[in-house]
Chain A
Amino acid sequence: MSFVNSFKVRKSWDTAILALLFSVWVLASMTTDNFLSSINVSQIFSNSSEILIMGFAMIFLIIAGEIDLSIASILALSSAMLGYSYAQGAPIWVAILVAVAVGSACGFVNGFLVTKLGLGSLAVTIGALALYRGIANGILGENTINEFPEAATDFGFSTIGNTFIPQTLPVIIVFGLFFAFLLHNTPFGRRTLAIGQSPEAARFAGVNVVRHKIIIFTFTGFMSGVAGVIYTFRFSTAQADNGVGLELLVISACLLGGVSIFGGVGTMWGLVAGVMLASSVESWLTLREINAQWRTIVTGILLLISVAAPVLVDKAKRRKAAASNKG
């Protein structure tokens, strides 16, 4: 199967991440009382909801050699739209649809700017990052909306029956399976990888690169909208600064999971392992009652490690090869 296949290519990296994840779990359960308690594990999953949801789509963008830094702002804007339209009297399901539609529209706009106008995705989505959160800010100002139907907020922070499985988890798993199959088992996924490996060769292979990228940008927006909805219900609050900085967590999870920042390489397994690693470390820090502010630093360091490690490993390999050539 292709899972096995892609696993083989990135074996060393994947093994390293899994080993790291495992050692974090061992260390954490040794140094804290309840790291592996069902409630904490449930919490780890629940806390990674938005990162996973956005990551499932973002991985396609990074593999295709693009990036979207505005996803957390799209999350905030969807959340704001959800709260705003519900507060204006719309039924909750209409509000949800509005939120997701706005998210998709934002993603489409990003894709349009990048492909049709030919602007660099990094730069443009930095602008979009400010723009979308700014609009959320403009709509809500300093207001927060935290009146939502009970069913909705239940979905956000309750578990299924007497278990410790968060209600959001099945939704995440469904999305995860869908995007994993899309990436690894369909022509669409193959074309995404192909674009990242060589946009020119993709054109010669008959891939409509522009359309393909717009589709990816749009469903990244869509998934950010979904993440906005889940975030809103999980915290029972819609406000303009929801999810600030999440885009970095998503990107560093992708990179940690072995997705190349230069495109063309990446697996859904890797992404999930990367997310689990980041949120396990975070949970560990929380349980150790280490100042929550350290999280920001840890995020930054993880990001640096994930981008520097492949380069350093490569350099070491080359040095070794050169040494053995001489010897």
Chain B
Amino acid sequence: MASNKKKLSLGREGSLGVILVFCVAVTGFINPRFVTGDGTRDLLSATAIVALLAIGIAPVMIMRHIDLSIASTVGLSGWVVADFCAKNPSFTWVHCFIIGGIVGIAIGVLNGLLVAGLRLPSLVVTLGTLYIVRGAVYVISNSVDYNAQEMPPSLLKLGGTAYFGLLPFPFLLALILMVVVAWVMKYTKAGRDCYAIGSNPPAADLVGLKVFRRTFIAYIYCGFIAGIAGVFYLMRFAQIDSTAFYGQELAVVAAAVIGGIGLLGGAGTAVGVVIGALLVQTIQGALAALGVDAFWKAAINGALLIVAIYADRVLARRSEKALLAQRIKERV
């Protein structure tokens, strides 16, 4: 018998790829600008933040948890970095990444302590920290916005760099991270433990996996990535205010779920979520290119998420049915 799992996940990533190509082709046919170098570069740099965050949230979701506070963390990190840079004109992009990373880690530690330490339901906890972190942005920003002139030129230059005229720097960074995370998740004990914990939490305790440590670290990592994504936000928009990236956690969760991370944990890959992020962005871009009003964007995100969850459920049901059929066969 061939490897069941491989077939499924190849199918997942493969079919996502097909849908992606199909969307691009149709949109390109109707609106040729969509498939030019400029169009592609736009699409990729628009995808970079969501792709990065989806790679960040992947281990957390694989462990059957969630982190809804990431979008608020992006806002906080972005604003804090901009604030530091405005007050220290000598700062370069290196400072930005360090500061952003530290802010993210701090939030990750908070989430990790509550979820892994107290074993509270992650959804409610991160819903709470979503509000606390966003509130913190409101309070410390005091309605101050920052624009391009207050940001380090080296950061903006980096954000504008595109390799081969196609590959923007942020997206390239996301791709590199994707490769690293994919490797870690496949070839290290820590990575495999994530899958095991999400697949069957009580059994993970029984076989003595370090559930607390893995969960805690996954949240810190996720927070760290969200902090870095705040810097990405500055690179892309060269501007920030207290509502930056508001409500976008859903787009990230949608990308992850569409990319093959089951909400019941235990499955999914970094490569999958990047394709998922690309697909979400492509559909958004395609609808815009086809003249659909931008106001419908949130509705489309929501609908996509529901469809993805449903698809996930259908797949799970299919394997349940196969199991039942097998049982019946054995009984005869």
Contacts and interface: CB of A to CB of B under 8 A. Distances in A.
Chains A and B in contact, CB within 8 Å = yes
Given A132-B302, A261-B121, A137 B128 contact: no
Interface residues of B, number: 44
A128 interface: yes
Given A300-B128, A303-B131, A122 B302 contact: no
Name the prevailing secondary structure of the B interface residues.
helix
A113 interface: yes
A297 interface: yes
Contacts of A189: none
Interface residues of A, number: 45
A123 B308 CA distance: 10
Interface in B30-75: none
Nearest to B68: A126
Contact of A120 (B138, B263, B299): B263
A123 B131 contact: no
B296 A137 contact: yes
A138 B301 CA distance: 13
A308 B300 CA distance: 35
A308 B114 contact: yes
A212 interface: no
B298 A133 contact: yes
Nearest to A130: B302
B253 to A, nearest CB: 7
B119 interface: yes
B306 A311 contact: no
Q: Most chain-B CB neighbours within 10 Å: which of A127, A133, A291, A293?
A: A127
Interface of A: 113, 117-120, 122-124, 126-135, 137-138, 141-142, 240, 245, 248, 251-252, 255, 261, 291, 293-301, 303-304, 307-308, 311-312
Given A127-B305, A293-B139, A308-B118, 13 more contacts: A117-B310, A118-B313, A127-B303, A131-B298, A134-B299, A138-B293, A142-B295, A252-B128, A261-B121, A300-B132, A300-B135, A304-B128, A304-B132
11 contacts: A113-B306, A119-B306, A120-B263, A120-B309, A123-B253, A126-B250, A130-B302, A137-B299, A299-B135, A304-B129, A304-B132
Interface of B: 114, 118-121, 123-125, 127-136, 138-139, 142, 247, 250, 253-254, 257, 263, 293, 295-306, 309-310, 313, 317
> Can you list the 3 inter-chain pairs with the closest CB atoms, starting with the nearest?
A134-B299, A130-B302, A131-B302
